[in-house]
Each structure stands twice: as structure tokens, then as C-alpha cells.
Amino acid sequence: MNIFSILRKNASRFISSSRNSSPELYPVKLYSSSKPPIGNMILSYLAYPVHLTDSSSELQAHSNAWESREIARIFKKLDFNIDVINWDDRTFIPHKKVDLIFDIAVNLQRIADVVRPSPIKILHRTGSDPNYQNAAEIRRVENVKRRRNSSYSPKRLAHEPELEIESLRQADFCSLLGNEHTLNTYPAEFHDKISLVPVSGSYLVPDRKPRFFVKSACGWVAIGPQNIC
């Protein structure tokens, strides 16, 4: 059974509260209840959600908060000691043996270059190939500029596409949010290491206001009828 089979099998089980360290500490540290643990892990995603309770309103926004918390809980349940850092932290350097790195962007290659022996490297991609994404964004911008006869700048560009692809190249495994179309935006040489996983969503507290939900670059967004055109 590979690591993604384990993640899919356990993803819905680890919703109950876990024992966490103080939220003022960074990186956030989670400790396995097993002695000794199976290994040490770096999770590079979002640090703050690890401390959130199930009732936290912060889990009712972008689904990356829920994902970060659940990934941490799953690997804690699998008996890893975990250092959780933010995906855009370019300064963190581990000072101990690292057995596994789980990243969503470019920290994978940066950290893997400084730890020995080489750890298992898992990349979690949350969208299309960054080069494909950038080309599509530029096409959309050009269409908007033509239709409106006005200036408009790109809003959804991946800023380090080549570094993101290098992380994919170095990764041993990759999980990808999306479907076959999403997968096919990536070079065929990487398909064997990529496992598709369903797109996650956030629980929203119901209210009496009419709501519509649209998929945007920031995930699922609730908007009122006045925004529908």
C-alpha cells in the first residue's frame, strides 16, 4: 500500500481534536504518541491551522486551512514527529535528521538539498501545471483587454514555474487536486508519480442570505445575487 492509499484511507478519520503545542511557537511541532516515532517530517503548507478546533470559523474559509490541518493530523496518526512551516518560508533549515518532506511548492528541493541522508519527498500540487496556468492567464488577460479596450494586468500568475516543476522532478511522489484534465496539463514524464485526489471544500455555516458558489483561483467562493452578471 503506497502513501497515497494510506492518506485516502485515513483522511476522514482524523477530525477529532489533537494535542498541540503553543501557537506562538514556530515552526509548529507535533509529536507522535509512539515511542520511538516512525520518523521526523517537515510539512510545508500552512502552520497556523494545525491548532484550529473543528468549530473554528477559520475552517469555513479557503479549504487550504482544513487541508493543512488534516495532513498534519494524518501523519501524526502515522507516528511521525512533525515540524510544520509555511509554504513560502525560505529561511527554515532543519537541524536534525529528516525522513520525509511534504511540500506544496519549492521548499521541497531547498530543504532536500541540505539534509542527509536524502528523505522521502512528497509534493502536493493544488492546480494545473504552472506553465500551463500562466499561459492560460495571459490568454484570459488579452481577451479582457480586447473586449474592454482597456489595460488589465494578470492576477493569477505562478511566479516561479520552473522551480515548481523542479520540485515535481525531484519528488518521489506527487498528489494532485483535480481530474484527468488537470493531470494532462503536466508533462507526461511525471504522470507515473502523480496520484489524483478529490478537490476539498470548506464547510460553510448556513444563513438566510441567498448565496451562490463559484470556483475561483482562491477556491470555492460564496457570493450574493448582486454579484451575478
So what's the pLDDT on residue 123? 98
Query: Which long-range contacts does 3-11 make (Cβ < 8 Å, 24+ apart)?
Result: 3/120, 3/122, 3/173, 4/173, 4/175, 4/195, 4/197, 6/74, 6/78, 7/71, 7/74, 7/175, 7/197, 8/197, 10/74, 10/77, 10/78, 11/70, 11/74
Say if strands 100-103 and 219-223 run parallel, antiparallel, or are unpaired: unpaired
Indicate if the alpha-carbon torsion angle 81, 84, 87, 91 is positive or negative. negative
So what's the pLDDT on residue 21? 40
So what's the pLDDT on residue 61? 83
Q: Which residues of the chain have pLDDT under 70?
A: 1-24, 203-229
What pTM value is reported for the model? 0.78
Q: Are 127 and 148 in contact (CB under 8 A)?
A: no
So what's the pLDDT on residue 224? 53
So what's the pLDDT on residue 57? 86
So what's the pLDDT on residue 34? 86
